[in-house]
C-alpha cells in the first residue's frame, strides 16, 4: 500500500525486453535499505525490485501491466523522470489517501491552464471508470494523490500547486500526455454496494 505522496523522482536509465519488460530506474533512495522483492510505486504502478545497485533498482513489468498503463504507449523511454514512492510502513504518516498501485487505466490530458501560481489540468477518464470519480474525491494520477475539483461527464479537473509541480514530474506534463489513473478504493466499494442494494 502507498499514500500517493511522492518521495523521489527517479530517472529511467534502461528499458529492454527480458521475458517481461525490464526497467532500470536511477534513484536518490538509499538502496541499501531496499530489499529484493520490495514494492515501489513507479508513476503509480506497484512494481517489485528484482535487482539493486548503489543508486538504482530494476523492476520487471508484465504484459498485463504494460497494457493497463501508459508504459504500453511508449511513455517509458530512457531519460524519462518517474514519480517514486516506497511502500507504506505501519506508523507512517498517511498524508494522501490509501493507494494500491494497481492502475485502473489511463486518462489523457485534454486541457491545461494557469490559475494564479497553480495549474488546472483537465483529463478524460475511460467510460468504465468515470462513474468512480467525484468532486472533492481522491484519485491517484501518476502515483500522486490529488483531489478532484470538478467533473463533467468523463472529464475531470485537478489543481496543481507550485510545490507539487516542483517535487514531482507534474511540472513536465503537457496536453496529450497519458496519465496513469487509479480510482479511490472507497469509491469502488461504495459503487459496488449501490449496485448490490
- Write the DSSP string, 110-174: EEEEEETTEEEEEEE--HHHHTT--TT-EEEETTEEEEEEEEETTEEEEEE-HHHHHHSGGGG--
Fold of the domain spanning 8-86: Elongation Factor Tu (Ef-tu); domain 3 (2.40.30)
CA distance 106 to 85: 19
Sequence-separated (6 or more) residues with CB below 8 Å from residue 90 = none
CA distances from 60 to 48, 63, 159, 196 (A): 7, 10, 33, 37
Q: Do domains 8-86 and 105-196 have the same CATH topology?
A: yes
pLDDT for res 139: 96
For 80, the grid coordinates are 524519462
Please, what is the Cα angle at 71 between 66 and 77, to 5 degrees? 135
Q: Under a CB-based contact definition with an 8 Å cutoff, are residues 57 and 8 in contact?
A: no
Backbone angles phi, psi at 102, to 5 degrees: -100, 95
pLDDT for res 197: 65
pLDDT for res 74: 78
CA 159 to chain centre: 16
First-to-last C-alpha distance (Å) of the chain: 29
Q: Delimit the domains of the chain by residue range.
A: 8-86, 105-196
Going residue by residue through the chain (197 aa), what tens digit of pLDDT does each one get?
A: 899 999 999 999 999 987 889 999 999 999 999 999 999 999 999 999 999 999 999 999 999 999 999 998 878 999 999 999 999 877 677 777 888 999 999 999 999 999 999 999 999 999 999 999 999 999 999 999 999 999 999 999 999 999 999 999 999 999 999 999 999 887 777 777 777 76
pTM score above 0.85: yes
Fold of the domain spanning 105-196: Elongation Factor Tu (Ef-tu); domain 3 (2.40.30)
Amino acid at each position: 500500500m502507498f499514500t500517493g505522496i511522492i518521495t523521489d523522482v527517479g530517472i529511467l536509465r534502461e528499458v529492454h525486453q527480458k521475458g517481461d519488460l525490464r526497467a532500470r530506474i536511477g534513484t536518490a533512495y538509499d538502496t541499501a535499505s531496499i530489499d529484493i522483492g520490495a514494492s515501489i510505486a513507479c508513476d503509480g504502478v506497484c512494481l517489485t525490485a528484482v535487482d539493486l545497485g548503489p543508486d538504482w533498482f530494476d523492476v520487471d513489468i508484465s504484459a498485463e501491466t504494460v497494457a493497463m498503463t501508459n508504459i504500453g504507449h511508449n511513455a517509458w523511454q530512457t531519460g524519462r523522470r518517474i514519480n517514486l514512492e516506497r511502500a507504506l510502513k505501519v506508523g507512517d504518516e498517511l498524508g494522501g489517501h490509501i493507494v494500491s498501485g494497481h492502475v485502473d487505466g489511463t486518462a489523457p490530458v485534454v486541457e491545461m491552464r494557469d490559475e494564479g501560481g497553480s495549474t488546472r489540468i483537465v483529463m478524460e477518464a475511460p467510460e468504465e471508470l468515470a462513474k468512480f470519480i467525484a468532486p472533492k474525491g481522491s484519485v491517484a494520477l501518476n502515483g500522486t494523490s490529488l483531489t478532484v475539483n470538478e467533473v463533467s461527464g468523463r472529464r475531470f479537473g485537478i489543481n496543481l500547486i507550485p510545490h507539487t509541480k516542483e517535487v514531482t514530474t507534474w511540472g513536465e506534463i503537457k496536453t496529450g500526455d497519458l496519465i496513469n489513473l487509479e480510482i479511490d478504493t472507497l469509491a469502488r466499494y461504495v459503487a459496488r454496494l449501490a449496485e448490490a442494494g
